[in-house]
Structure 1
Amino acid sequence: MNWTGREITGGAGDALMWFDLLREGGELRPFHPRLRLRPAEFAVAERPADYARLYAVDAEWTHVGSPFGLDPFRHAGHALANGGREERAMRDAVLQWREWHRNLVTVTSLRLMIHHEVWHSFWYEEMDELVPVFDHPRRGHYGLTAAFSDAPRLGLFGPYVLSILLLAEYFSGRFEVLTSEPGFRRWHAEMTGGIPAPG
Structure 2
Amino acid sequence: MYSVRFVLASASPARLATLRSAGVQPEVIVSGVDEPAATREAEQRYGILEPADVALVLARAKCEDVASRDESDDALVLGCDSVLEFEGAAYGKPADVADATARWQRMRGKSGVLHSGHWLIDNRDEGTGATFGVTASTVVHFADIDDEEIEEYVATGEPLWVAGAFTVDGLGGPFVTSIEGDYHNVVGVSLPALRELLHEIGVAWHDLRSSTTQSA
User: Into which bin does the TM-score normalised by the smaller protein fall?
Assistant: under 0.3
Say which one has the larger Rg.
1
Larger relative helix fraction: 2
TM-score (normalised: structure 2): 0.22
TM-score (normalised: structure 1): 0.23
